[in-house]
Amino acid sequence: MRLGVVILAAGMGKRMRSALPKVLHPLAGRPLLSYVLDAADRLGSVKTVVVYGHGGEQVPTALPDRACDWVEQPERLGTGHAVQQAMPLLQEIDRILVLYGDVPLVDPGTLGRLVEASRDCPLGILTAELGDPTGYGRILRDSATGRILRSVEHRDASPEELSVREVNTGFLVAERARLQGWLDRLTNDNAQGEYYLTDVIGLAVADGEAVASVQAPTIEEVSGINDRVQLAALERYFQRRVAEDLMRGGVTLADPARVDIRGALETGQDVTIDVNLVVEGHVTLGDGVRIGPNCLIRDSVIGEGVEILANSVIEGAQIGPGARVGPFARLRPEARLEADTHIGNFVEIKKSRVGVGSKVNHLTYVGDTEIGSGVNVGAGTITCNYDGANKFKTVIGDGAFIGSNTALVAPVTVGAGATIGAGSVITRDAPPEQLTLARGRQISVPGWERPRKQPKT
């Protein structure tokens, strides 16, 4: 069976009150539509067609690397009309599954059950049972046999029909040829004046066909997003589910409600995470890592036994085992810390390697630098790596000691075992095993007075 997928992503999303198309709003750091495309890929779709409309080319432009076809619905005349736009691209497909770009958490396993349950029927639909079905289309069944008769939209339903709690999620799978015939017969004789895809259910029944159905196990996986309140609620559900997976994998979370994973997090055993961690991109935490409160970690690898103290930002870094970082530290892309290093408060490391056991503990900027092992970098040190047009490298040898408030003007090399006196501005290479000083001569001026403010008249 050649399965094709149509993803409806043309809606304006008026209630989002945003210039950004609704399907591009982020859930856990990724566009809603990307989750639905992932589901189609996992189902083994031979061809996936995304129907877009509102926002024009913003939607395909935002996801340029996805293996799908894009087709525009220039006039938004309803879901049935939207599927019609995709049909010419699906002529070689046996069965078509319709998904929604603003329903991101639908489980591929649930969709697989729907496809399997409808193998012997020309049409299958996904339903859900809701305590409060307000706003959803209702599934109407024959009271004697339980056979599905049709779906009625909430705004078109009678008071008796509104009492039904089984709702139509809109997800359906159908034989391509039969679906084409039903789409051709749709009318817009309804309160919205639109061509409803859900009307194909009644058309199938009128043709004497049985309609298969599968019920979604959770309402969250078929919940659509229409406003920012619903988006926030689904974000919290998603994050809670991720937090539970982390805890089952051996991670201690101080508060599972205050961790946000906006990418992929791999963890070893006995990892401890305090509140308000944000993870972006791909992050790996080794065994025994401890992370303090209010940290951001993006695209980084952190070795075993590392401690990240409060309010630290780590981006594109590699941190060796036993290192300690923070509080209030920033590691920028291509920062590499070897084992047992210490990076302290208000220290920024960028595109630099810090060797085994070296310490950069206070108020320091290190950029484009190679620091050897056993080095101590004093408070207030900066590597002056940029002349306004070009970047230059600083090299600090093993065992060097850099005094406080030193400026190392790159390109420059500090030899192994060298000592740089506090307050120095080093513009030439400092030899190994020697003390190097570069200070202006200190003078005192007798009789000098500090300027004073004149009294107001």
* Rounded (10°) angle between helices 199-206 and 176-185: 100
Residue type, 132: D
Residue 204 identity: A
d(CA 348, CA 198): 57
Please state whether 163 falls in left (phi above 0), alpha (psi between -120 and 50) or beta: alpha
Respond yes or no: is residue 362 known to be catalytic: yes
CB proximity list for 90: less than 8 A, separation 6 or greater: 4, 6, 47, 49, 96, 176
Helix axes 108-117, 32-42, angle to 10 degrees: 50
Identity (one letter) of the amino acid at 231?
L
Q: Give per-residue burial for 264-303: e unless 16+ CB within 10 Å, then b.
A: ebebbeebebbbbbbbbeebbbbebbbbbbbbbbbbbbbb
Question: Got the DSSP string for 278-326?
Answer: EEEEEEEE-TT-EE-SS-EEES-EE-TT-EE-TT-EEES-EE-TT-EE-
In the numeric block, which tokens belong to residue 104?
Answer: 């991101």
3-state secondary structure of 140: strand
Reduced to 3 states (helix: H, G, I; strand: E, B; else coil), residue 150 is: strand
CA distance 365 to 347: 6
- The full DSSP string for 67-129 is S-EEEE-SS---HHHHHHHHGGGGTT-SEEEEEETT-TT--HHHHHHHHHHTTTSSEEEEEEE
Rounded distance between C-alpha atoms, residue 414 and residue 430, angstroms: 5
What is 210-249 written as a DSSP string?
-EEEEE-S-SGGG----SHHHHHHHHHHHHHHHHHHHHHT
Cα→Cα distances 37→34, 169, 237, 428, Å:
5, 18, 20, 57
CA quadruple 162, 166, 172, 174: dihedral, nearest 10: -90
Q: Rounded CA gap, 442 and 292, in Å? A: 44
Mind giving me the DSSP string for 418-438? Answer: -EE-TT-EE-SPBPTTSEE--
Instruction: Report, as residue numbers or ranges, the catalytic residues.
Output: 362
